Amino acid sequence: MPLIVNLRHLEAHSLRLEGELPVAELDIETGDEMVRAVHPLVHDVEVQRLPDALLLRGRLRLVLECQCVRCLKPFRYALALDMWSRHLPLQGEESVPVVNDCVDLTPWIREDILLEFPQHPLCDPECRGLPKTWIGTAKQTGGPGQKESSSPAWTELNKLKL
């Protein structure tokens, strides 16, 4: 169920929304196999009505399943927005859609969550990547005094006189 707030409930006092939002409701599709959202979003948000806007303040937490871009090891990344706030105008050209006095907050939460996704997830800042034994090494075909053979593409490029 998306996070929907009724504007009439906000006329007298602010509203506090606590709970979990399933990842299916967030509709997060990154297309990135290194970062996946599979756990629910934990939220604790206060919604306050201003004269022409809504003010959202609170905490958003989401655990991501990631794969290190250096060593390919799977790990969990705890995304936390502890001092999160969002101003949503109710009038003007950038106003949020209001349907039957209700506003769906989910798209704006999704946007802020996506902006915090790690671009290059690392299991550890000091990760050195794959072990050197996994990386291919050039084989020597001749004896000790013979040079390594190069690929035909490099041979053709070496013939160019620039």
Domain boundaries, the chain: 4-115
pTM: 0.72
Residue range 22-68, pLDDT digits in tens: 988 888 877 788 899 989 999 999 999 988 999 999 999 999 999 99
Tokens of 79: 């995304």
Inform me whether the pLDDT recorded for 138 exceeds 80: no
- What distance in Å separates the CA atoms of residue 56 and residue 97, rounded to the nearest whole number? 16
Residue range 61-96, pLDDT digits in tens: 999 999 999 888 999 999 999 999 999 998 888 888
